Chains A and B, each alone.
Chain A
Amino acid sequence: MGLLSGLGLTSPSPEEKRASEVRSGAVAPTRAERQRCWDARDAFYACLDANGIVDAIKEDKKVASVCKSENARFESDCAAQWVTYFKKWRVQDIQKKAKLKELEAQGANKMEVHTDFTPRS
């Protein structure tokens, strides 16, 4: 069935059609679909953590060998744009955390951030 639909010989089931629309970004995912994507993402991140991979885009060969199934699930449950976004986000997040740790070690003070325009005394 998977092979046949992949070759375009049979029409895909409604679920499969919906999933492919989500992947291509033709429709916005529902809450349940978002949750499924986030779960797949977290499993993928966990695999990267376990294997010491930071940038899944640069180290795609290593990902393909050690996190193959997690990557496949991630790509099947999330929109393609989201996959790229989350892979890039991970790199930035790790860098940000490392930078904060470094600054903290240097004795930097955490700044309180306000969101209004009022001058404070």
Chain B
Amino acid sequence: MSQSLATARVALNALARTAPRPCARSLSTARGGLPKRPAAPPLSQACRPRPLVQARGFKTVEEAKSRYRSGPFSWKAGILFVLTGCGLVWYFENEKKRMQRKRVAESTKGVGKPKVGGPFELMDQNGNKVTEQDLKGRYSLVYFGFTHCPDICPDELDKMARMFDLVEAQRRGALTPVFVTCDPARDGPQELKDYLVEFHPKFLGLTGTYEQIKAMCKAYRVYFSTPSHVKPGQDYLVDHSIYFYLMDPEGDFVEALGRQHSPEQGAKIILDHMKDWRGKWRTAN
């Protein structure tokens, strides 16, 4: 019994020794640690408790009391919290979308990726030579079709005209709309000119020899088939792919737009990619 009492006293003594004594400790570290430090505050000053009201700068006791009741929350803090939250959400959403577009744009660059586009030499509707160099410095929207196309191409070209106008309204001279014929036997420069002017005066129509067109379609991975054994003067239809190819100002493929995109959606996709572009733009018109 007396032994257990003695052990309890020892434990109490130990507790008293280890209990924190902040003032004494701060004094000892100030003395032992850095003797050259200029002004170690004297014990009496460092340990004097400051009056709460004075420290927070409240004018009246009532003010301090009401602040004490509401704690650290106030309408100012609430607004700041909500604004910061909204800001962060907006920023991350924006950044996420940008990264997605970047991934789309870059998915076709580098090793082992499908290479769409490339050098070509064709003739426009005015009989001038056009190469891939003429398209550089601007985005281009490339569509393949033919003037005798029964239903899809005219629809899509009307859509392309709307898309082009929407993009032009925001960024003038940043996009070249290009129409490449898959039917060079019948679509010469004059035919293209008559055809395209009904859709948009700014459309660039491209034609060439059968070999040139074939090479162009191959570079853009466009499937097209002219029926074989066509006699001169005989009518026929050409089967072909119906995507819009968005190419960046360096002639690299960015994204394909299809039938499922409305002109507004298409224009937004194009404008968003333009926003991301960090390379050169053509300055002269």
Instruction: Judge: A and B partners, yes or no.
Output: yes
B236 contacts A by Cβ under 8 Å: yes
Q: Does the CB pair B107–A116 fall under 8 Å? A: yes
Tally of contacts, chain A with chain B, CB under 8 A: 57
Q: Does the CB pair A113–B260 fall under 8 Å? A: yes
> Secondary structure of the A side of the interface?
loop
Q: Does the CB pair B195–A115 fall under 8 Å? A: no
A63 contacts B by Cβ under 8 Å: no
Q: Does the CB pair A79–B255 fall under 8 Å? A: no
> Secondary structure of the B side of the interface?
loop
Which interface class (under 10, 10 to 19, 20 to 34, 35 or more) fits A?
A: 20 to 34
Interface residue from B147, B150, B191, B194 paired with A85 (Cβ < 8 Å): B150
Besides A115-B243, A116-B107, 20 other CB < 8 A contacts?
Answer: A24-B233, A25-B234, A26-B233, A26-B235, A28-B147, A28-B148, A28-B186, A28-B191, A28-B194, A28-B195, A29-B148, A79-B150, A81-B150, A85-B237, A86-B151, A115-B256, A116-B104, A116-B256, A117-B107, A118-B103
List 11 contacting pairs A-B, 8 Å CB cutoff, sorted by A: A24-B235, A25-B236, A31-B198, A79-B148, A79-B150, A80-B235, A86-B151, A89-B151, A115-B243, A116-B107, A118-B103
- Listed in ascending order, the chain B residues whose CB lies under 8 Å from chain A are 103-104, 107-108, 113-114, 147-148, 150-151, 154, 186-187, 191, 194-195, 198, 233-237, 243, 255-258, 260
